[in-house]
Amino acid sequence: MVTAAGVDHVRLAYHYLDDGDVDGFGSLLHEDVELRRPDAPPGQGRAEVLRMHREGLVPPARHTLDRIVAEGDSVVVMGRVGELPFVDVFTLSPEAMLRGCRRYYHVAP
C-alpha cells in the first residue's frame, strides 16, 4: 500500500532531479531500483542509475507535474518536460523507497 511518504518521495525525486541534486535523488532509491525510459539506456541498481544521471545518459530536464495517482505499491505521475507530455509509473518498496520507474512519452501521430 502506498503511504503519504511514498508519494512525497516521488515528488521529492523530481525536485532533486530538477535541481541537479543526484545525491539527494539517490537517497530515495531502493538498492535494486530499475529505470526504463525510451530516451536512455536501461538502468538496474542504485549505483548504475546514479552513474547514468551523473554522466548525462539520462537527459536532464525540468518537470511540470500535472497529476499524481497512487494505489497499491504504485504511483503514476502525469506531467510535461517542456511541452512534451510524459507518464512515469513508479513502483515503491514497503519502506516507500523508489524501486522502479518506467517512463512513457506522448508523441503526436
Its pTM stands at 0.93
Contact 14, 81 (CB under 8 A): no
Q: Does domain 4-105 match CATH 3.10.450.50?
A: yes
Per-residue pLDDT of the chain (109 residues; tens, 9 = 90+): 778 899 999 999 999 999 999 999 999 999 999 999 998 999 999 999 999 999 988 888 899 999 999 999 999 999 999 899 999 999 999 999 999 999 999 988 8
CA angle 98, 5, 86 (to 5 degrees): 50
Compute CA distances 3 → 41, 73, 80, 84, whole Å.
Answer: 30, 9, 24, 29
Domain ranges of the chain: 4-105
